[in-house]
Structure 1
Amino acid sequence: MMCNVGFDWNRSKNLVGGGWVIRNERGVVVVYSRRAFSNIKSRDEARLVVILWSLESMRSHKMSNIIIAGEFLEMFGAVERPQAWPSFLHYAGQIELSMAGIVGCKLQVVTRETTEELLSLHKV
């Protein structure tokens, strides 16, 4: 199964909106959610809070063998290749801790356009 994760950050209001959608191997939506977060001061903080929330959601839904996909090149890159992304090591550590509770969890970078297209198909 795949969980596509997306976010949008409003710098002037310090708000981020996040959403995720889980599809099975046939592309059928199994479950989805969206949420807003306040007092988010940077784009990196927005990315991290949405990634951690989506991973927490996967744990609470007792998901396993799932791919978490989103436009998170730096953060997912820091998890996969820490030496290539040294300034993101703190974020990578938090993501790895959150992933530890999900058996078979993998990360995949996808473009924003792909994520938005998938989310809009089901009006998430």
Structure 2
Amino acid sequence: MEEAKLWKGLNRARNSPLNCPSALVLARSWSPPLQSQVKCNIHANWRNNKLHYGGSWITRDYQGRVNHHAREAFTSSPDRLTVEPRVLLWALQSLRDLHVQEVVIGSDLSELVEAIKRPADWPKYRWLLQQVVKLIGAFPMVGFEIESATSNFLAREIARSVLRNGLFQSYLALGGPSQLHDRIRQESTF
């Protein structure tokens, strides 16, 4: 049974949950998902391999309303491409636990999307990418968008607060972060 599931996951037809267009244009402002979907912007704020790093995710609906946001402090990691899949795993686990069905993940690290699309080209990160692909299979639909730093501003600011402000306590909250409320309102008037 496990081998059949693995084979099915590796041999999905074009309706694969990895909905990654080959050429994506970086938008300067946040773009909404389809009405049936939630968009989850993620970011990992990594400085070097000796420090903790901060991760965050924030979900919004098709009207730009923030549903949830979360922040987490993680132990040190060797490079940025290791931390982003860890933050993605944490976000996907949280979204699964929140019973989100269809999600578009927005990240400003294009290498993350490339690694998920072609994990064989990234053998150093094989275990992490296998975990991501396995978790993606738990959702009816997961898509990916490459964001600009500007359009991923909210997730970036929440993740930066871990190291910048020493906010190592993790949390999950309804709605948007209060200190960024005006920016959320501004971005939602797309």
TM (norm. structure 1) is 0.83
* Alignment partner, residue 105 of structure 1: 142
CA RMSD, Structure 1 to Structure 2 (Å): 2.4
Which structure 2 residue ranges, 5 or more long, are not aligned?
Answer: 1-37, 158-175, 182-190
1:50-105 CA deviation, whole Å, 9 max, x = no partner?
1111111111111111101112311212323x18x712561432321121112211
Distance in 2, matches of 1:86 and 1:95, equals: 15
Query: Which contiguous aligned blocks of 4+ residues in structure 1 show a shift greater than 4 angstroms?
Result: 117-122
Asked whether the 8 Å contact 2:108–2:148 carries over to 1, the reply is: yes
Displacement of 1:39:
2.6
User: Whose relative contact order is higher, 1 or 2, with alpha carbons under 8 Å and at least 6 apart?
Assistant: 2
Distance in 1, matches of 2:152 and 2:56, equals: 10
Return the structure number with greater strand share: 1
Asked whether the 8 Å contact 1:21–1:119 carries over to 2, the reply is: no
**AA paired with 2:115?**
A
Distance in 2, matches of 1:19 and 1:12, equals: 19
Note the 1:78-117 alignment, pairs <5 A. Answer: 78-80=115-117, 82=118, 86-87=121-122, 90=126, 91-117=128-154
Larger radius of gyration: 2
Q: Aligned pair count?
A: 122
Overall identity of the aligned pairs, in %: 20
Of 44, 58, 65, the residue aligned with 2:81 is 44
Note the 1:1-124 alignment, pairs <5 A. Answer: 1-11=38-48, 13-80=50-117, 82=118, 86-87=121-122, 90=126, 91-117=128-154, 122=177, 123=180
Distance in 1, matches of 2:141 and 2:75, equals: 31
Asked whether the 8 Å contact 1:5–1:69 carries over to 2, the reply is: yes
Q: CA 1:16–1:118 in 2, change beyond 3 Å: closer, same or farther?
A: closer
**AA paired with 1:44?**
L
Which structure 1 residue ranges, 5 or more long, are not aligned?
Answer: none
Asked whether the 8 Å contact 2:56–2:155 carries over to 1, the reply is: no
Distance in 2, matches of 1:59 and 1:92, equals: 17
92-101 or 25-34: which moved more?
A: 92-101
1:17-76 CA deviation, whole Å, 9 max, x = no partner?
011111011000011111010132221211121111111111111111110111231121
85-94 or 40-49: which moved more?
A: 85-94
TM (norm. structure 2) is 0.57
